[in-house]
């Protein structure tokens, strides 16, 4: 997720408890909350179609994610157009779910 999203996601998913962040992977912050591992880019405040792909590739490599692994991508906040923008790239095969204008969720498969 991008940093903007992590602020909201961490607040609600972690029931407003303090988050213990892991910064072992360069360029990323991760934490566990609500039974989920959250991986956040430390260098990008807001994902766009232009900057997402490179961050995705680095995350997959750094965290050793295997082909076929499904990753839930969430974007929350203002100017959240990532899912809409990525639907223009059929190679991503996404089916986004929208919750109002400011929350979008979609799965990506590592491949």
Per-domain boundaries in the chain: 3-109
Q: Tens-of-pLDDT digits for all 111 residues of the chain?
A: 888 898 888 888 888 788 888 999 999 999 998 889 999 999 999 999 999 999 999 999 999 999 999 999 999 998 889 999 999 988 888 999 999 989 999 999 998
Predicted TM-score (pTM) of this structure? 0.86
* Six-digit token string for 87: 């639907």
* Six-digit token string for 84: 């809409």
How many whole angstroms separate alpha carbon 89 and alpha carbon 87?
5
Q: How many helices (H) and strands (E) does the chain have?
A: 3, 5
Q: Beta-carbon neighbour count of residue 29 at 10 Å? A: 19
How far are the Cα atoms of 15, 31, 51, 58, 74 from residue 54, in angstroms, in the given order? 31, 21, 6, 6, 17
């Amino acid at each position: 997720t991008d940093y903007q999203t992590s602020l909201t996601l961490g607040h609600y998913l972690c029931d407003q408890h303090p988050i213990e962040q892991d910064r072992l992977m360069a360029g990323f912050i991760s934490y566990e909350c609500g039974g989920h591992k959250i991986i956040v880019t430390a260098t990008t405040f807001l994902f766009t179609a232009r900057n997402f792909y490179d961050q995705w590739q680095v995350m997959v490599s750094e965290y050793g994610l295997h082909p076929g692994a499904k990753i839930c991508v969430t974007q929350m906040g203002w100017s959240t157009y990532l899912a809409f923008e990525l639907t223009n790239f059929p190679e991503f095969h996404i089916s986004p779910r929208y919750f109002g204008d400011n929350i979008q969720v979609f799965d990506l498969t590592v491949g």
